[in-house]
Amino acid sequence: QKEVEQNSGPLSVPEGAIASLNCTYSDRVSQSFFWYRQYSGKSPELIMSIYSNGDKEDGRFTAQLNKASQYVSLLIRDSQPSDSATYLCATTGGAGGTSYGKLTFGQGTILTVHP
């Protein structure tokens, strides 16, 4: 059973601070990793994808992947109140190399950015 684990939070940070969101996964052969943002009552919105070890930056967002530790994180710099949402970590790819992209999601971390 593939599992993706996240601290459900809530994580509260002041406006302008760095928010750090963490995720671990159990399936060592997971290949692709995604961060989605979900506002209450809305659908998941893709923020970042990362496929290889290291950091990937996109604007205020940086994703970090460490496959040896089975760990992926998301940093949000200069956090804004509009960043307040649930952040979902998801993985795809699995044993046998056959994958049609099924995403396995974590529970999500609730982030609150207060002014």
Partner 1 sequence: EPEVTQTPSHQVTQMGQEVILRCVPISNHLYFYWYRQILGQKVEFLVSFYNNEISEKSEIFDDQFSVERPDGSNFTLKIRSTKLEDSAMYFCASSPASDTQYFGPGTRLTVL
Neighbouring residues of 21: CB distance < 8 A, sequence distance ≥ 6: 6, 11, 35, 73, 74, 75, 76, 87, 89, 109, 111
- For residue 115, the one-letter residue type is P
- Applying the rule CB under 8 A, the residues between 64 and 93 that interact with partner 1 are 88, 90, 92
Q: How many positions of this chain bind partner 1 (CB under 8 A)?
A: 22
Q: Report, in Å, the least distance between residue 23 CB and partner 1.
A: 13
Q: Report, in Å, the least distance between residue 77 CB and partner 1.
A: 23
Q: Report, in Å, the least distance between residue 70 CB and partner 1.
A: 18
